[in-house]
Structure 1
Amino acid sequence: MTSIIILAAGSYMKFEIFKVVNVQGTKTDSWIWCRINRRSVTNFWKEALGPFSRKFKAGPSSNALEIRRVDNSSTVLLKIATLYAERLMSDICLVVGGTEYPAHRLILCATSEVFQVMLMNPEWSESQKSCIVLQETPACAAIFGDFIQYFYTGQIRINHLRVMPILALADKYNVKDLVKLCVEYMCEHIAHAAVNNQIISWLQYTLTCGHYKVAQMCQNFVKWNIELVAETTDYGNFEPEILVCLLQQNDIVVVNEMTLYSCVVKWLDLQKQRLSRDTPNTVGDIDAHMEQLVVEVMSHVRFPMMSPRQLADLLLSPLTKTYKEFFVERMAIGMAFHSGQTDLVQEVLETDEGRLLFTPRLYTADTWSTLLSVENYPLLPAYHTRTLVFSSRSSLAEHAGDHACEWVVDVYPKGVWFRKFYLIVWQGTVEIPESVLRTVRVSIMCRDPPPAGHTRVKVGILIHGVQDGVEHIRMVIERNHHFGETDKVLNFDDLLSFDELNIHPGAGGGKSSPYLVGHNRDILKLHIVIAPLSDVCSTTAPSFTIK
């Protein structure tokens, strides 16, 4: 084997050449000293080594040092932050709400695409100015200094009150990384926003500005916890068109339709108070506007889903007395459904949203649902099964009678274990090995299908959870299904993430599963809702979008 070591110092180069002469390993060596110009290195190599040039391999330099990366970014960032903090060498001034914020064009343009266009495009008058006045809302003006400081430091303080104006500024000036931070914060604190009177504002802003992930999470929270949201002061900020979109949904979780009606009445009262307080309108103008709101939102309350007794009680409602013609017409539709008067029902079905009026939501009243709680959940053995039996009415309409369906609910929160068994077939006996499913399963069986042979129902599984210390309905799984003599069982597999529900004591850093509730966070709480679907029910609902 042949190798070369090259030692260079100044203009001198030394080549130590080892050449294998025979298989016994004897070798000859020679030293070559020369004074050489740097430009003639290539020629020297060819002349000195001659025929050996292709056989030799250059070795590493003897004085090579390891390269080490040094991270001093924190010091550099501190220097950049100091430019803003001490107002050094600023070349532009932003004025917001009468307050001046000296800044640097380079930093503004590097962070914000809007500032980049505004300050670098000669077609914009601002590009020629050294002082620019920006118009912001009072909430945005209050945190504008922190917003600009983020450009220099990458740090900003966020809570449930500040995140909305920060996101509004990040959207306006297209600061994409800050938008991402705000959206992530909001997704992680939906429940906190609800109990601190921010959930409706978050929903409407994110839905309008296209932050659909946050909007979807806010929408779900409101739909599944409408009674909680209706108790907040933010509830009155619902825009009519957004509330209408909500009322059109089939998966609203509420005790019964009468309770939802009460929530809508509360919203109408808040609107009337606002109109009386904030507008110079006359009493006649306010009454006309209120009548328009009543018709707009109450048209989506499903009066046929109220019982005849509840419909009768509405006659005594102050709202019914004020808008008697409208409410009597809606109650007549409900009574026609319960009494089997098909003519009026068919007339309503011909309207755009007629079928929705005869479609049940996810009602948690005892008539349609049952609560299943698994206490001391962490101590539950693997593959444990919890069973519950309950009954629900087989029809929505009173004229169909009081026949009830009996349901058997089996919950497998820690996996399913199928033991080994033997199957006897005409060829002989076949051994079926044991099998384990790592899943969270809920199995629902119809014990006694109706005489008609099948029943179509809507099954909803409401899963309670905790976020920011707030217990609420965290997830809803909904499915329409036909039960019959040959199809008595409906399985919900992977109801929850197995790992997220069954956090190992040492793997979660001391944290409990977000799906365990109670004072000690050791209770798995499920609501099982089963409501019948008639031929006049709708199986779909309009999308939650602003028209």
Structure 2
Amino acid sequence: MKLEAKLEGSSVISHSQGLVGRLETLLLQGNSSDVSLRVETVDGDEAKQFQAHALVLSLQSPVFGFMLQNRNSSILLLHESQDCVAVFDKFIRYLYCGELSLHMDQAIALHKLATKYGVSDLQQGLTEYMSLNLAGASGSGHVVDWYEYAAAAGDEGLKATCLQFLSWNLSSVLRSAHWPSVSAELLMALLRRSDLVLQSELELFEGLEAWLVQNDPESLTVENALRAVRYAMIPPRELFRLQRRSHMLARYQESVRDLLFLSFQFHSASPLQLAKFFDVNCSLFVPRNYLTASWGTPWVINSPARDDRSTTFQTQLGPSGHDEGKRVTWNALFSPRWLPLNLRPMYNEQGAMHQSQSVQPSVSAARPRIIITPTTSSAEFAGVHFQKTVIVSTRQQSQLVVHHVYNFHQSTEEAGDFLAHVDLQQRTSEYLTDGSLHLHIIIKPLYQTLIAIKK
């Protein structure tokens, strides 16, 4: 018995757990059953039978309600796929008890049943379950399966969530045994994105070539996929090597010849010169989130709730081979309780706080901040602006997975939403690994078209 105090003079007596237990007993023993559900595969190889109650089924499922109203027998025959038959006992128990336990490999089948029979609460709960368990499911390939299922079922929210996770953890996806099973539709959706997190564009090309060899798709798919690679982000020496040893490039050379030629021009000419004739803001010249040292640095902050931390690192001025020898030095400052200048208390010459600010709760605005600034003179950045990206990773099943990605522009020193609403005092925070904050800072140089392109 559970007794809860409510308004003064009133209480609530709750025996809901006991009611759930009696409903489960009702299902298991079939007492007072008025309908028999026979669930079998289309070919009839596997079947299960449940003694059920029309009232309960109709209350939980409008689809069952309609079917039961129009039945002409005490037996209701249901045809389901084999995976759905295997979990139907869990599904029917949910209708009686409002809860179920599941493994990751059962999520799709249960979602199918919830969708088919209009059990919206369960459908939404399973979508949320899959969205919250992407990291744990990544090693077994379930994220790819969940994406493909969401795409087929028209669940745009789950589809977008899975695609975002795969994009942020593409290096591990490319190395997994499940990469060859990715559909052509998912492959192209990934290739078109600029927020992919991976070691380099070369790693992406090698993963793409492995997929193409394994799946042997039609020529149009191959051409579209090869043209989605950003060859200009691959150093010239690697491009020459690819042309010599890649059978796929040799076979489809005519399809990507213009991209390779433009990429070599990009690496050999001054970006300012190139910008006079080409649109350097097109996707070919836009870097993704590369993890190699030329683009940024990893940064592990131990005990991030205590003191300010800082680090210094260098990146290449731009992705063009013309800028290969030029470096930009960056300072990064992390503070667990940073207070913006406009909210810091101001003092007069006698050291007293201004009265107008003494009553402001400015300290409550303090929260984790990261500030990244160049030490190099901005005069050396002519034609280049920088997008700064901070990746936060957490450990799941012995490997780091990307938990969140923050982006901010050259014109701002800090990411305004960085770790917003995160309590770093909690060592069990989902953003921490063994009490430490695992960051990776990426500087993405983008060339600007300064002069109108000649037609």
Same fold (TM over 0.5): yes
Which residue pairs with 2:57 in the alignment? 108
Which amino acid letter does the alignment assign opposite residue 385 of structure 1?
A: D
Q: How far apart are residue 430 of structure 1 and its match?
A: 9.4
**Stretches of structure 1 lacking an aligned partner (at least 5 in a row):** 1-65, 121-125, 273-288, 483-488, 504-510, 538-547
Which residue pairs with 1:30 in the alignment? none
Which amino acid letter does the alignment assign opposite residue 115 of structure 1?
A: F
TM-score normalised by length of structure 2: 0.82
- The 5-angstrom pairing of residues 37-56 of structure 1 reads none
Match of 1:406 among 329, 343, 357: 329
Answering whether residue 93 of structure 2 is matched by residue 133 of structure 1, we say no
Distance in 1 separating the partners of 2:34 and 2:103: 32
TM-superposition CA deviations, 1:75-128 (whole Å, max 9, x none): 4444433332123333333332233333222221111121122333xxxxx533
Which amino acid letter does the alignment assign opposite residue 333 of structure 1?
A: L
Match of 1:368 among 266, 279, 295: 295
Per the alignment, do residues 266 and 422 of structure 1 end up closer, same or farther by CA in structure 2, a change over 3 Å counting? Answer: same
Distance in 2 separating the partners of 1:431 and 1:71: 55
Indicate if the aligned counterparts of 1:440 and 1:494 stay in contact, CA closer than 8 A.
no
- The 5-angstrom pairing of residues 48-197 of structure 1 reads 70-97=13-40, 98-120=47-69, 126-197=70-141
Structure with larger RCO (C-alpha < 8 A, sep 6+): 2
Which residue pairs with 1:3 in the alignment? none
Which amino acid letter does the alignment assign opposite residue 118 of structure 1?
A: M
Match of 1:515 among 428, 431, 435: 431
Indicate if the aligned counterparts of 2:316 and 2:324 stay in contact, CA closer than 8 A.
no
Structure (1 or 2) with the larger CA radius of gyration: 1
Answering whether residue 370 of structure 2 is matched by residue 442 of structure 1, we say yes
Q: How far apart are residue 349 of structure 1 and its match?
A: 5.2
Q: How far apart are residue 136 of structure 1 and its match?
A: 1.7
Which residue pairs with 1:500 in the alignment? 423
Per the alignment, do residues 402 and 422 of structure 1 end up closer, same or farther by CA in structure 2, a change over 3 Å counting? Answer: farther
Distance in 2 separating the partners of 1:83 and 1:137: 27
Match of 1:323 among 252, 267, 273: 252
Q: How far apart are residue 141 of structure 1 and its match?
A: 1.3
Which residue pairs with 1:225 in the alignment? 169
Answering whether residue 221 of structure 2 is matched by residue 293 of structure 1, we say yes
Larger mean Cα displacement after TM superposition, 98-107 or 356-365: 98-107
Number of equivalenced pairs: 425
Distance in 2 separating the partners of 1:468 and 1:515: 15
- The 5-angstrom pairing of residues 394-433 of structure 1 reads 394-400=317-323, 402-416=325-339
Per the alignment, do residues 213 and 393 of structure 1 end up closer, same or farther by CA in structure 2, a change over 3 Å counting? Answer: same
Indicate if the aligned counterparts of 1:338 and 1:398 stay in contact, CA closer than 8 A.
yes
Which amino acid letter does the alignment assign opposite residue 526 of structure 1?
A: L
Match of 2:201 among 238, 257, 261: 257
Answering whether residue 130 of structure 2 is matched by residue 202 of structure 1, we say no
SS in 2 for 1:450: helix
Indicate if the aligned counterparts of 1:393 and 1:531 stay in contact, CA closer than 8 A.
no
Which residue pairs with 1:335 in the alignment? 264
Which amino acid letter does the alignment assign opposite residue 234 of structure 2?
A: M
Q: How far apart are residue 398 of structure 1 and its match?
A: 1.9
Q: How far apart are residue 497 of structure 1 and its match?
A: 3.5
SS in 1 for 2:414: strand
Per the alignment, do residues 69 and 252 of structure 1 end up closer, same or farther by CA in structure 2, a change over 3 Å counting? Answer: closer
TM-superposition CA deviations, 1:123-161 (whole Å, max 9, x none): xxx533433332322111111122112212223221211
Q: How far apart are residue 417 of structure 1 and its match?
A: 8.8
Which residue pairs with 2:403 in the alignment? 474
Identity %: 25
Which amino acid letter does the alignment assign opposite residue 387 of structure 1?
A: S
Q: How far apart are residue 523 of structure 1 and its match?
A: 2.2
Distance in 2 separating the partners of 1:413 and 1:202: 36
Indicate if the aligned counterparts of 1:110 and 1:116 stay in contact, CA closer than 8 A.
yes
SS in 1 for 2:178: helix
Match of 2:180 among 230, 233, 236: 236
Q: How far apart are residue 314 of structure 1 and its match?
A: 0.7
Indicate if the aligned counterparts of 1:410 and 1:443 stay in contact, CA closer than 8 A.
yes
Q: How far apart are residue 445 of structure 1 and its match?
A: 1.3
Match of 1:462 among 360, 371, 391: 391
Q: How far apart are residue 220 of structure 1 and its match?
A: 2.3
Per the alignment, do residues 306 and 106 of structure 1 end up closer, same or farther by CA in structure 2, a change over 3 Å counting? Answer: same
Q: How far apart are residue 442 of structure 1 and its match?
A: 0.7
Larger mean Cα displacement after TM superposition, 193-202 or 217-226: 217-226
Which amino acid letter does the alignment assign opposite residue 512 of structure 1?
A: T
Answering whether residue 241 of structure 2 is matched by residue 313 of structure 1, we say yes
Which amino acid letter does the alignment assign opposite residue 232 of structure 2?
A: P
Per the alignment, do residues 198 and 183 of structure 1 end up closer, same or farther by CA in structure 2, a change over 3 Å counting? Answer: same
Indicate if the aligned counterparts of 1:268 and 1:293 stay in contact, CA closer than 8 A.
no
Distance in 1 separating the partners of 2:264 and 2:348: 55
Which amino acid letter does the alignment assign opposite residue 337 of structure 1?
A: F
Indicate if the aligned counterparts of 2:91 and 2:100 stay in contact, CA closer than 8 A.
yes
Task: Let me know the Cα RMSD of the aligned residues.
Answer: 3.3
